[in-house]
Amino acid sequence: MVILTSSMKEHPQPTPPPPTPNLAALAPSPPATVHVRNLTTTLTRAGHDAWNRAGKAQPCQLSATVAFASGFDAAAATDALGGGDTVHYGTLSKALLARAARFDADECGGKDRSASLLGEGVKVTGSAVFEEGGSGKVEGWARALEVSRLRVPTLVGVNDNERLAKQFVVATVTVEGFTRQEDVYTEIEALVVKAMEESSFETLEALGAHLAERVLTSKWHQDEWQVCIKMEKPTAVPMADCPIVEVRATLASLKRAKAAGAS
């Protein structure tokens, strides 16, 4: 399954993007938003499938969120659209599908991602903040790749019984600052799965740091990447859904950690 979340307008990419959460500083607490969630279509050229094969038809879900600098004053007062302070979600949906269709017809396609072998799907999120006034000028933008909820048998835990057999760890890998145009999500997934299968850490904290380092030092990495590894251990706490540990790292933070450990 593909889950593509995108902004309404294309935006230039003159400099490496910041992590997606940092955009909140440019557009804090928008007073009004319109969402379209999980609009389903089928794409053939949206990257490779889970076996890294091109040209395979795959289900795709498109979502969009439009946040406004001011509220729905005109729409609320007149109980009608067209006042310029909102967007028709039906029109937004049609625009998303039309854009996806144009992309799929373009032989240069391949910027979006497709299915996952061991996870729930792959997601690409594009976000942008535009100047007020309708100029279309971009104040900030971000792009992230997520491989969602990989279920991998992993030897991890501090208890004696946990050292006897593997248990499922559910890992979500998010790469902020992802601007590569070629498909590498299958390689990243395979890298993470192999590292988890071969590991034997006692703590999720150590496992997360190891996985982040493997992604950040892979041959596909970009210097501006920030990697977040979210790990769930469903069998660890019987009276809870699961404990969750998140590890976030960059190349710079890895170097600082190694330097601190060596001193």
216-251 as b/e: b if 16+ CB within 10 A:
beeeebeebbbbbbbbbbeebeeeeeeeebebebbb
Q: Which residue has the higher pLDDT, 60 or 109?
A: 60
pLDDT score for 249? 94
Helix axes 185-198, 204-216, angle to 10 degrees: 140
pLDDT band at 258 (very low <50, low <70, confident <90, very high): confident
- 2-262 is a CATH 3.30.1130.10 domain: yes
What's the pLDDT at 46? 67
Can you read off the two tokens belonging to residue 188? 């990243």
Q: Describe the crossing of helices 204-216 and 251-262 by its angle, rounded to 10 degrees.
A: 120
Question: Which tokens is 206 given?
Answer: 């150590």
- Of the given ranges (56-70, 110-124, 172-186, 193-207), which has the lowest mean pLDDT? 110-124
pLDDT band, residue 200 (cuts 50/70/90)? very high
Give me the pLDDT at residue 106, please.
Answer: 60
Q: pLDDT digit string (tens) for 44-101? A: 876 677 777 878 888 888 999 998 888 898 888 888 888 788 999 999 999 989 888 8
How distant, in Å, are the alpha carbons of 47, 91, 189, 215 from that of 194?
23, 44, 9, 12
pTM score: 0.79
pLDDT given at position 234: 93
Q: Do 148 and 185 form a contact (C-beta atoms < 8 A)?
A: no
- What ranges do the domains of the chain cover? 2-262
pLDDT > 50? residue 8: no
pLDDT of residue 17: 59
Confidence at residue 223, expressed as pLDDT on a 0 to 100 scale: 87
Residues 111-164: tens digit of each pLDDT? 344 588 899 989 988 888 888 777 788 888 889 999 999 999 999 999 999 999
Would you state the pLDDT for residue 259? 84
Q: 88-96: which pairs have CB atoms within 8 A and are 24 or more residues apart?
A: 89/34, 89/35, 89/36, 92/8, 92/34, 92/36, 92/64, 92/66, 93/36, 93/39, 95/8, 96/6, 96/36, 96/39, 96/62, 96/64
